[in-house]
Structure 1
Amino acid sequence: MESNLVVLYIFFLASICTSAFDDGVNSGPSPEPSACPELPIVENAEVSTTSFKSTYTKGDSLIYNCQQGYVGKVIFVCDGHKWENTRNAKCSRKRCQLPEDIPNGRFTLINGTEFVYGATIKYTCKTGYRMVSLVDTRTCLAEGWNNHLPECEEITCSPPEVKDNIIVDGLPDYDSTLRIGHQLKFTCDSTGLMLVGPKEVICDENGEWSNQFPRCEEVICDLKEIHGRVSVVGLPQKNAPIKYGHKLQFYCSQPGMVLRGNQEVTCSNEGHWSSPFPICEGRSFHSSP
């Protein structure tokens, strides 16, 4: 009988200890509610002010606004432990419309690989044309391409001012354009005139003539040295210039002298004498053997 009582008492004590242990475990401090860590950083985007809170728990969402020049809709949702990008979205560069072409020119992309925010294109003119606009580039901005379309104009040369006594070959009959490569040739309208300067000029790629235009001047022959024993007829008075066609005649004034050379020389249309001035030499005698 006593042994049975002892067994019941021991079982009662064990039940009390087990209950006390369970109460100690279950009665501890309750866990903190689940929360998400620091806000994610999204490139080229900022968190919307309407999404700001002191703490974020499961189900809370973050809306990101893309910065100027970027487009997209980025939303993160808290799953209780971390942030999840619902559509794996991002902010992409805003696209600009396909750039416009210009007459007699073309564009090339000089910054970037696509026509998106920040890209820059440069316009160039085709051969025979030149840029007349101060700005030849356009950049893709948030509102579209900046700057106006540049303009190309045809490269031409101004017609020459035709002076007296000069003939220009190659001038158009009317007010036609003198384009790159156009050639003009010059001659004088009188044989008594000499062309001073290039005989021809070409319109260059810079819209300028390849050389200055020539002029026509009177043909003048310089008076050469006259030997002391030679007399001359026809020298102009007061050292006046000797012009085209002027003739000089030579003779020996001393007895026994012989003129070696042409007795008469003429000023040619090239400004040269027709032959060298002659000289006077003593007559030579040959004795027979």
Structure 2
Amino acid sequence: MPFFISFSAFHLFFIVSLCIYFTGVAAQKGCPARKIPELQNAENRSDLKDQYIHAESVRFACNTGFVGFFRVTCRDGVWSKSGRCQAKQCGHPGDTLNGDFTLIVGDDFVFGSSVQYTCRKGYTMASRISHRTCLLIGWDNIVPFCEVVKCEPLNPSEQLDVSGNFEAPQYSDVVEFECNSPAEKLNGPRQIYCTDTGDWSGQIPTCQEITCTRPEIPNSIPDGKNNVYKKDDIIRFQCVENYNAVGSGIARCSRDGWTMSVRCEEFTCKVPDGQFLNFTSFHATEYKVGEKVNYVCLEKYKKREPFATCTLNNWRPQTMCEEIICKRIPNSYYARHIHAGWSPYNWPHRITYGQYNYYCNKGFKETQPTATCTAHGWAPENPCEAKCDIPNLSNGYMVLTKDESAISYTCVERYKPKTEGWWDYITCTNGKWSDTPQCIANNSCRALPVVYNTTHKNEYSVGAKVEIQCYLGKISKCIDVKLECTENCTRSNDERKGSMDEDGGTCEAECQTDYSATCRDGEWTFPPCSDKVKDSPCDMVQDGQLENEELKKSIAKQIK
């Protein structure tokens, strides 16, 4: 019983499946012929049906010049295609000697493509047809042919020696010419060649006698006066001033013109090397003859000349900077560079640029703590100065400075310095005191004011009288003058007259011919010099203010 049930179920399932299958097949659609897709380069068929059922196929052959086929199949109402039609290959069209080709139709060597042949430079197309086309049977025509361009044969004269193919010349052939006679040269090109157009590049040259015209070399003076020279004639050149000859200075006339080994270059001086120079003082790299440079030397070196001058013999001076060397400090026994150890002078060494500590000999003193060796010698000029002997002073006291370069002094009671004031001050310079200190009695007169070309004492007793006679020269200015009357007065009998400068107004003065001064109670009294016009005193001035050189040369006489 169970086996029967299982068998019946299997048969039932099989029967149902068959029904479903045949039902589906009956439901698939067909394809109309009018909907067959476009098939490129395929032949059209005239035997097509109007309708094709599912899975039915149609084959299409290719057009002439193409190989392959197409197949279309109906798939549930839609056409599908496979296959293709390819253009027939012709292969390479062939190369031509001295030529090239390019595709002018198509992009490959296949049916319907065309190529165009052209000839290279110097060649021309010899074939009537210069193109080929890919046909069903292959390439048509033959490969074109290019032939070389030819020029006309040459017929040179007997004067010429010709080398090269000049009888059957063709493109790029070169023909060279030379004159048979050594005394002649070519008049025209030395060589010509056959061009790509079939023409010669130039005319056949001729031969003519070798001559040279007078050459022109800038900044030179040639000898001789001829304008035309023959073969092997020579000319010598000389450069003008401030120019140098480069070469032998000789030019020779030859087949190719003047063979010159000369040129004139302006002489220049270059900035010198290795001369201890500060090169920033040279503002150019070269200088012409006569130009000067205010050069600067490096530290520790000094200039030999104020300027360096460029000459035909190079720079003058040739050595511009020299080491600064000083002689030993006069009146000294030791010196050392501030950056060196002590060195006595009698040791073998040089005193070069720099600052030195030093000691002076006995009887001399150091004017500065250090002395410097410079390009102009020692600074200060006299590092060691002679000391002054201590002077004697009666009736007074002296105070000497620590360096013994000055003395201040004053006098005891009932005495006074010979100069104005209650004390005086003298200085020592190069071993000499500026004055001699002296104390005089209070009732004595001090020294008279200085009068040019006179002598006087430092002390005068009470009642002493001094007369001064002056010779007055040319008029210049009438300014205040003491003892000399008025500066610029003229002498007329017993009168002295003059006028003051514009800034001081006018003063016509009248003075005694013999001008006298009298010592009274320790002071000098002087007669007045009055203004005759205004009846008022004319001013006086100190001796140091005199400006008239004639007065400085005047003759004066002092009478006690």
TM-score, normalised to structure 1's length? 0.49
Report the structure number with the largest CA radius of gyration: 2
In terms of fraction of residues, the more strand-rich structure is 2
